[in-house]
Amino acid sequence: MDLLDTLTAKGLRGEVPTREEALAVLATTDDELLDVVAAAGKVRRRWFGRRVKLNYLVNLKSGLCPEDCNYCSQRLGSKAEILKYTWLKPDQAADAARAGVAGGAKRVCLVASGRGPTDRDIDRVTDTMAAIKDADPEVEICVCLGLLSDNQAERLKAAGADAYNHNLNTSEKTYGDITTTHTYADRVDTVQKAHGAGLSACSGLIAGMGESDEDLVDVVFALRELGSDSVPVNFLIPFEGTPLAKEWNLSPQRCLRILAMVRFVNPDTEVRIAGGREVHLRSMQPLGLHVANSIFLGDYLTSEGQAGQTDLDMIKDAGFEVEGAGEATLPRHRADIAAASSCGTAASACGSGGGCGPCGGHAHAPADAPVAVDADAAASDASDGELRSDLVKVRLRGAGTELAPNA
């Protein structure tokens, strides 16, 4: 297939496809799906080998958000029966983080609902990061607190944060359809503030909200232009009690095509399968590992994921290995640029921790043979448009509860 040959060649060189080529990936048929996965897999292995980075979420404050994001179970007016609690104490958050690190996670993502942090909130998170780093100085910490004000990113960086997450979610053109209490430009501004402070920019999207192929391509190219080091690809979890509860638009095949498109546009960037993989990829999750090089371990913010041990078994059974704490996530050429950024120069920041010295990245992994994939798995039942609310399970364990976390 000429398209896939072209995309593979560009990806192996670290080049970006055209918008037309990216749209063509989303328009491929189910008969072509395994070829698409194989092509994206070559690019993934060129830059990341067979390593899978594990990330672990700690929801520091659940629900109680004044923003009206239609996709979110924590939004203003949400009737979703999720956990609601105010700020965890630093030792509680550190205990939750410890479970994820023990399960193999090298990055802990600290998240709090709300429009953006107050200075007191920054102090809370600073104390929490200190408690986590005291237990494991090598762990990466990514913070996600909403819209940042001036100097807050610098304070987080000085306190030990390695990255800041703030997703663009969808295209600028359609952003007003999902949120009215802040703008797309507000989100871009926060990503730029994080970058400017030397934090690694973690910014991604949500697929399945009724957007067009053009919207998906728009937001992925925007993320590329922003210099995001990590691109989380979320698949909408349609919570009952939210405005998008009936938006069941994704099949496993559609999800794999979206992941492949993101990989081709971001060949040497960490692509993470984030929320909704169990809900929408289901039995085809292992195929996603051939395209993405990063996942969340265990549960999400307000929903439960599959068992942490099942994640680890899936990675092993698919022929991959968990990325170790001493391994750099990004390829060497990106890590070198990022190291300069963390010392105050203008470039993208490093997603693998460290100070102003080299990030210790690996040399480029060599390209190898096409991915061998299971045709029977690819033929598993797709549920395009089918309501599957039984697949959404509210998180009732871990942070904010007395029950052990899933890691």
Instruction: State the amino acid at position 239 in one-letter form.
Output: F
Distance CA 151, CA 119 (A): 10
Catalytic residue from among 272, 277, 334, 395: 272
Paired strand residues for 206 = 234
Catalytic residue from among 44, 50, 144, 202: 202
Catalytic residue from among 46, 69, 257, 282: 69
Is 350 annotated as catalytic?
no
Q: Which pair of structure tokens corresponds to residue 224?
A: 């590329």
Is 343 annotated as catalytic?
no
Give φ, ψ of 368 to 5 degrees: -135, -160
Closest CA to 200 of 332, 80, 354, 320: 354
- Give helix 213-226 / helix 19-26 axis angle, nearest 10°: 130
Distance CA 353, CA 307 (A): 27
Catalytic residue from among 44, 72, 187, 359: 72
Is 72 annotated as catalytic?
yes
Is 202 annotated as catalytic?
yes
Contact in structure between 290 and 259 (CB atoms under 8 Å): no
Instruction: State the amino acid at position 65 in one-letter form.
Output: C
Catalytic residue from among 44, 50, 65, 254: 65
Rounded (5°) CA angle 255-270-384: 5
Q: Which 8-state DSSP code applies to residue 149?
A: P
Catalytic residue from among 46, 50, 51, 142: 142
Is 65 annotated as catalytic?
yes
Task: Return the active site residues.
Answer: 65, 69, 72, 109, 142, 202, 272
